[in-house]
Structure 1
Amino acid sequence: MSARNTLTAARHVVVEGPIGVGKTSLALRLGAHIDAQLLLEQPELNPFLSRFYQDQQRFALQTQLFFLFQRVDKLRELSVPDSFTRPVVADYLLEKDPLFALLTLSEDEYGLYRKVYEQLSPPATAPDLIIYLQAKPETLIARVRKRGVDMERRIGDAYLTLLAESYMHFFHNYEAAPVMVVNSENINFVDHDDDFQLLVKRIEAMRGHREYFNRGE
């Protein structure tokens, strides 16, 4: 991979990973580090989300469609000329949206969702760099429980496990943009500056289309 795809040269960086892995926290730190504008999800604005965690079958479609509209609206800002004069760091990739839908929607609901998704999705523009954060399901479960967000208390362990596995399969087959796969088990890029700087250096040194970072390597 050429130097233009390193962190400082990238114009559109995406931090991705399952619930509890730290993607928004890393996006915030990276955004500050490279003086980027942020494109962040706002799950607290989804009026169906807390009800979804109580009754997934009943509220899955409403929750999914609200997030789809929210994500598409934010991404459309990127296509407006001169709307972003600085680099952009986002904490989501639109192409992974169907991943959640497959886990929660019935066959008929998913068919309806796909029609809406295909109509709404802007022309695909791959980011310059994706940082995919991984963690074991049991680590995700522990982190979600620890942070104590009220509506997240109802997230089932089985759902988090399936979500982590789905992310792994998705990015295993993803080829549209360079991907740095980060094992977040033994690195604390939120509270420890040394860990954050170590991660930044590894990203800056990235030259292949897919590379892996596991602390200690």
Structure 2
Amino acid sequence: MPGTPARNLLEHARNIVVEGPIGVGKTSLARRLAEHLGQSKECQLLLEQPELNPFLTRFYQERSRYALQTQLFFLFQRQDQLRDLAQPDIFRQTVVSDFLFEKDPIFARLTLAEDEYKLYRQIYDTLAPQVVSPDLVIYLQASPENLIARVKKRGLDMERRIGDVYLTQLAESYSRFFYGYNAAPVMIVNSDRLNFVDQDRDFHLLLERLAAMRGHREYFNRGE
């Protein structure tokens, strides 16, 4: 079991990841966190680029036919984006990203047929050792009802065909994944009643909780 994080982990972490299912607000929080940290040190924002995946729109239209191509593109894209983090002598600045490499199989397990998943897993297991673990993970949770409402509200064309059942399954799969995740310190945040983009108070409350984080796994709920 990994040891207790260093004092003020938020300030000392070099590789920070914001994660969570579709619609939970991870990209918005990653942007604001990178902007905040960039006021005192060099900080890079590293975001997923789903718009570059040529199979994604077709996947939402015909899921079974394009699932493997879509998933493998994302797998190689994420590995390529994270490659430099394995070379600390070259890459010294703080990085805030909105994806964790280890979460990729969550989506693969939901979308691929059994034989496709076995092939995917062989490729994933070859690439995974090349990717370094983050220093801090902020895992955003939300109820399936809120995820569904948020996805519909933002109205992205490529997400219009995402079903409510899929979003519910995805939220449940994330919960199971992070229940057993211990590769890095994790702050689990219930975001149902939090708005990190529009509410400064919510964002600063999260910063305070992260700065005070001492355990390897802690929880932040707006009702606390």
TM-score, scaled relative to structure 2: 0.93
How far apart are 1:122 and its partner, in Å?
Answer: 3.9
**TM-superposed deviation, 1:117:** 1.2
Q: State which of 59, 65, 78 in structure 2 corresponds to 1:71.
A: 78
Q: Summarize the alignment of residues 117-156 of structure 1 with structure 2, pairs less than 5 Å apart.
A: 117-156=124-163
Is 1:28 the counterpart of 2:41? The answer is no
Find the aligned partners of 2:55 and 2:90 in 1 and give their Cα distance: 30
Among 193, 201, 205, which residue is 1:198 paired with? 205
The AA in structure 2 aligned to 1:26 is L
For residues 108 and 2 of structure 1, do their structure 2 counterparts lie closer, same or farther at Cα, with a shift above 3 Å needed? closer
Within 2, Cα distance between the matches of 1:83 and 1:147?
Answer: 38
* Aligned-residue offset at 1:169: 0.3
Alignment of 1:33-48 (within 5 A): 33-35=36-38, 36-48=43-55
Of the structure 1 ranges 58-67 and 31-40, higher mean CA displacement relative to structure 2 is found in 31-40
- Number of the residue aligned with 2:109: 102
Are 2:48 and 1:59 aligned? no
Whether the aligned pair in 2 keeps the contact of 1:76 and 1:122 (CA below 8 Å) is: no
Task: Quote the Cα distance in structure 1 between the aligned partners of 2:8 and 2:105.
Answer: 26
In structure 2, relative to structure 1, the CA distance for the partners of 1:144 and 1:133 (3 Å cut) is: same
Q: Are the counterparts in 1 of residues 86 and 131 from structure 2 also a CA contact under 8 Å? A: no
Compute the displacement of 1:158 (Å).
0.4
- Cα 1:5/1:70, change in 2 over 3 Å: farther
Distance 1:114 1:2 in 2: 31
CA displacement at 1:119 relative to structure 2:
2.2
Give how far 1:124 is off.
4.6
Once residues 175 and 190 of structure 2 are traced to their aligned partners in structure 1, the CA distance between those partners, rounded to angstroms, is 12
Which residue of 2 is the match for residue 11 of structure 1? 14
Query: Greater CA deviation, 81-90 or 156-165?
Result: 81-90
**Which amino acid in 2 is paired with 1:216?**
G
Q: Partners in 2 of 1:140 and 1:102 — Cα distance?
A: 20
Stretches of structure 1 that go unaligned for 5 or more consecutive residues are none
Distance 1:124 1:47, change over 3 A: closer
Q: Distance between the aligned counterparts of 1:173 and 1:200, measured in 2?
A: 25
2:186 corresponds to 1:179: yes
TM-score after normalising by structure 1: 0.96
Q: Give, in whole Å, the separation in 2 of the partners of 1:24 and 1:146.
A: 16
Whole-Å separation in 2 of the counterparts to 1:210 and 1:46: 33
Shift of 1:58: 0.7
Q: CA RMSD in A?
A: 1.2
What is the distance in 2 between the residues matched to 1:7 and 1:207? Answer: 11
Over 3 Å off, 4+ runs: 2-5, 80-83
Percent of matched pairs sharing the same residue: 70
